[in-house]
Amino acid sequence: MKPQKEPIHINAKKDDIAPVVLMPGDPLRAKYIAEKFLFDAKLVTSVRNMLGYTGYYKGNKITVMGSGMGLPSMGIYSFELFYYYNVQKIIRIGTCGVINPKVEIPEIIVADKVFSESNFAFSYNGFKGNVLTPSMNLTNKIIERAKMNEQHIHIGTIMTTEVFGPYVDDEALVKRVPDYLDVLGEEMEAFALIHVANSFKREAAAIVTAVDSKFSDKILPVKDREKSLDDMIRLGLDSLI
C-alpha cells in the first residue's frame, strides 16, 4: 500500500525540514536543544506535541525533532521525515541503561550495531534479522569528531527493547542476546530508526548516554547530568555538519 500524499504526524512545510536531523526521544529536549544550540530556531511542527525545530548550527541548517518513546513512535516519525521531507541523515541521541560493567555513568556509547528481539523490521517489510548496522559513514564521522573533541566514548552494540528494562526482568532479556554480541546498553528506539533508514538507503546513527546502571548506585547531580547530555548533543550536531 502506498502512503498517502501528505504526512499525518508532521505538519511542517516541505522546506521547513532540513536535510539533516538530530532526534532525541523527548520533544522537550528538542525544544531545549533548539533554544540553547541553534541560531534563529523556529518551531516547524507540533502535531501531538511532538515538537520539531529548524535553525542553524555553525551556519548549517539543522532540524531537531522528538521521536517519542519506543519503536513504533520512532518508526512513524523517521518514515515521514525520510519519505515526505527527503531527509538524508538522522542521528538519534538519547539515554540508555548500562548492561555491561565497562560502561560507567555518564559515559557515551556510539552504536556500531543494534540488536533487538522486536518484530518491527519483519512487520515493516519482511526483514528477518535481529542485528542492524547503522550508516558506518555517519558513525565514523561521530567517532572522528569525538576524537577531535577529546571525548571518551564507547563503540559497540546497543540493544533496543520493547519494554522499559528497569520495570521487567532485563536479566532474561540479556541472556537471550547472542553470545557473539557484546551489548553495552539498552534503549528503546534505535533499531526502528536504523531499519527505516536502511530501507530508504539513507544514513542514520545512534548515540546514547548512560544514565542508570545495575552495576552502580551512582546518581548524577542535575548539573553533571545536564553537562553529560550537552556533550552528547554537541557531538551529534557537530557530526551532522
Question: Catalytic residues, which ones?
Answer: 212
Secondary structure (3-state) at 54: strand
Are 202 and 89 spatial neighbours (Cβ–Cβ below 8 Å)?
Answer: yes
Cα 95 off chain centre by: 9
* Strand spans (E) along the chain: 20-24, 39-45, 52-57, 60-65, 89-98, 108-115, 131-132, 153-160, 183-187, 203-213
Q: Whole-angstrom Cα distance, residue 8 to residue 83?
A: 12
Are 132 and 87 spatial neighbours (Cβ–Cβ below 8 Å)?
Answer: no
CA angle 15, 231, 224 (to 5 degrees): 130
Q: Whole-angstrom Cα distance, residue 142 to residue 238?
A: 8
Written as one string, the DSSP assignment of 66-92 is ---SSHHHHHHHHHHHHHHH---EEEE
Secondary structure (3-state) at 117: coil
The answer to whether the peptide bond before residue 3 is cis (omega within 30 degrees of 0) is no
